[in-house]
Amino acid sequence: MSYINGFEDYLKAKDKSINTVSCYIRDTKAFIKWYETRADVGIERVIELDLVEYKKHLQGSGDEVITINRKLASINSFLKYMQQEGIINEVISVGVIKDKDKKQFKGIEDRELWKLRNEIHRSGNQMHICIIEILLQTGIRVSELVNIKLNDIKISERKGSLQVIGKGNAKRTLPLNKDARKAVEKYIEVRQDDGSDYLFMGQRGAIKRNAVNLILKKYGERLQIKVTPHMARHTLGYKLVRKNIPITTIQQILGHENIVTTNLYTRTPEKDMVDALEGLEW
C-alpha cells in the first residue's frame, strides 16, 4: 500500500471531490489486495493481463455494471499516476463494460413513488420525510445531501433556496418548492440540536451517506420497492423532461458539467414507450 498516499495526493491535486477520492482509494486498495493474492511480484510489475483477469473477477462479483466500471476507472487512474511517477514504464489500462441496459429508465415508477412517499410521510419521522422530499424536489446527490449545513438553507414565507457543493467543489443554488420548504421547516422544529452546523443529525452526530441509503432501503423493503438516493435523482430528471423543461435547465439543476450526462438521467420508462405505440392510429 506504499503508493496509496501518493495516489491520494494526486487525486486531490486534480480537485476531485472527497467522495470521489474516497471511492478511488477504496477501489485501488481492493485491486492491490486481489493482485497480491495472485502475483509473486509487486504492483509495480502489473501487466495488462492482470487487469483483464481482475475485470473478469469483478464481472463475477454480482456488482452492477456501473459499479464495476467505476472500479475499473479507479484502477486506470491509479496506473496513470504510477506511470507519471515513473513507477511503471507505460500506461496500461482496461476497457470498461458496455452497459446494454444503460438507456433504460433508472428512476422510480409513478405508482411505486406514490406508495413510497405515503409510507415515509405516514411514519411521522420528520427527518426521513425531509430527506425524501429534498432528494425528490431538488435531485441532489446523497453526498451533497449529507453535507447540507443550516446556513445553506434560506426560507421565507413564499420562497426558499438551498446551496450545495457538488463535484469538483462546484457550488450551485437550487430553489426549494413548497413541499421541500414545508418538510425542512417541520424537521427543523424537532431537529436534535447538539451545536452542529449540519442539517441532518442522528444520535451520533451528522448522518453519513450510508445512513441515508439504509433509511430508504428500510422503507423500500416494506413495500418491496427498490429505492436509492440515485434513483430519486433519475426520477426528478425524467419528471422535468416530461414537463418539457429545457435540457440545459435540467443540467443546471442536477449539477452536470456535460449535458450528455444529463441525457442519461432522463430516459423514458418502458411503460411510456408502450403507451405511445399502443395509442397510434393510422
pLDDT per residue, tens digit, the chain (282 aa), is 578 999 999 998 888 888 888 999 999 999 999 999 988 888 989 999 999 999 999 988 888 888 888 999 999 999 999 999 999 988 899 888 876 555 567 889 889 999 999 999 999 999 999 999 999 999 999 999 999 999 999 998 889 999 998 887 889 999 999 999 999 999 999 998 778 899 999 888 899 999 999 999 999 999 999 999 999 999 999 889 888 888 899 899 998 888 877 877 777 676 666 666 666 566
Q: Would you say residue 253 lies in a domain?
A: yes
- 72, HSE (Cβ side, Cα atoms, 13 Å): 25
Q: Could you list the residue range(s) of the whole structural domain that residue 266 is in?
A: 110-272
pLDDT for 29: 94
C-alpha–C-alpha distance, residues 122 and 129, integer Å = 9
pLDDT for 253: 92
Phi, psi of 205 (to 5 degrees): 105, -160
196 and 253 assigned to the same domain: yes
36 and 175 assigned to the same domain: no
191 and 226 assigned to the same domain: yes
Number of domains composing the chain: 2
Q: Would you say residue 136 lies in a domain?
A: yes
The pTM of this model reads 0.65
Q: Would you say residue 102 lies in a domain?
A: no
C-alpha–C-alpha distance, residues 236 and 218, integer Å = 21
CATH classification of the domain holding 26: 1.10.150
Cell of 200: 441532518
119 and 73 assigned to the same domain: no
16 and 155 assigned to the same domain: no
116 and 215 assigned to the same domain: yes
pLDDT for 81: 93
CATH classification of the domain holding 184: 1.10.443.10
- 270, HSE (Cβ side, Cα atoms, 13 Å): 3
C-alpha–C-alpha distance, residues 255 and 275, integer Å = 31
Q: Would you say residue 17 lies in a domain?
A: yes
C-alpha–C-alpha distance, residues 106 and 115, integer Å = 17
231 and 118 assigned to the same domain: yes
152 and 212 assigned to the same domain: yes
116 and 76 assigned to the same domain: no
Q: Would you say residue 98 lies in a domain?
A: no
pLDDT for 2: 73
Q: Would you say residue 96 lies in a domain?
A: no
Q: Cβ(55)–Cβ(41) under 8 Å?
A: no
175 and 265 assigned to the same domain: yes
Q: Would you say residue 92 lies in a domain?
A: no
Q: Would you say residue 166 lies in a domain?
A: yes
241 and 124 assigned to the same domain: yes
117 and 181 assigned to the same domain: yes
Q: Last residue of a domain, which of 50, 84, 118?
A: 84
